[in-house]
Copies of this chain bind each other. A is one copy, B any other.
Amino acid sequence: MATLYGAIEAGGTKFVCAVGRGPDALLETATFPTTEPEKTFGQCLAFFRDVASEHGKLASLGIASFGPIDCRVGSEAYGYITTTPKEGWAQTDFVGTFAKALDLPVGFDTDVNAAALAEWRWGCARDLDTCLYVTVGTGIGGGFVHRGTTLKGLLHPEMGHVRIHRLPEDGYSGNCPYHGHQCLEGLAAGPALAKRWGTQADALPPDHIAWTWQADYLAQAAVNWIVTLSPEVIVLGGGVMQQQHLFPQIRDRVRALLNGYLQVPAILDASPDFIRQPGLGTQSGILGALALAMDAA
Q: What's the nearest-Cβ distance from chain B to residue A67, in Å?
A: 11
A264 at the interface (CB under 8 A from B): yes
A154: which of B161, B162, B164, B230 is its contact (CB, 8 Å)?
B230
**Besides the contacts A162-B224, A178-B258, A179-B257, what 6 more A-B pairs have beta carbons closer than 8 Å?**
A130-B151, A142-B228, A147-B149, A157-B230, A163-B220, A165-B165
A226 at the interface (CB under 8 A from B): yes
Q: How many copies does the complex hold?
A: 2
Task: Note all chain B residues with C-beta closer than 8 A to A149.
Answer: 146-147
> Quick check: is A30 within 8 A (CB to CB) of the other chain?
no
A162, B129: Cα distance in complex, Å:
22
How many chain A residues have a CB neighbour from B under 8 Å?
A: 51
Q: How far is the CA of A158 from the CA of B261 in the complex (A)?
A: 10
Does the CB pair B229–A229 fall under 8 Å? yes
A151 to chain B, nearest CB (A): 6
Q: A179-B261, A220-B163 are in contact. Are A228 and B157 (CB under 8 A)?
A: yes
CB distance from A260 to the nearest CB of B (A): 6
Q: How far is the CB of A164 from chain B (nearest CB, A)?
A: 7
Interface string of A136-163 (1 = CB under 8 A from B): 0000001010110101111111111111
